[in-house]
Structure 1
Amino acid sequence: MSTRPNPRPITATRALVLFVVYTVVFALGGGLSAGIMALVFEALSPQGSDPTVYAITFGVTGFIAYRLAQRVAEG
């Protein structure tokens, strides 16, 4: 059984601010990790890797960053 308090009601302004923050966090988190992975692949192999790998890395790590930001925002 969860003892988590009821979340406060969300206003339109708060929803917009959170949307912008979550979007920026998602893009930065995913972009940084995909960029680092691209640098590592280029250093190890001159052929690089399939762009799908970078897309998956971007999506997964961006989602993780988004969820962490959401937990911080909710307290």
Structure 2
Amino acid sequence: MEEEKENARELEQEKMRELEQEKARELEQVKAREMEQEKAKEMEQKKVKEIEQEKARHEKIQLFSDFDVCKGFD
């Protein structure tokens, strides 16, 4: 009888350890996904910034081209 109680207690403890391990794995997966999402967000922001810089560069080039054309009429 006492041995059965001990076995039941050990089984319960083992189940609890397994549940804790599973929760820890799930938490790690969530953290990994969050890190991936953050990295993707940073990459997207970097692309947007590069596009904006390229646009600004083209606008400056266009401005100077227009200025050169206007200078030619003087």
State the TM-score, normalizing by the size of structure 1: 0.43
Structure number with the bigger relative contact order (C-alpha 8 A, sep ≥ 6) is 1
Report the structure, 1 or 2, having the larger helix content: 2
State the TM-score, normalizing by the size of structure 2: 0.43
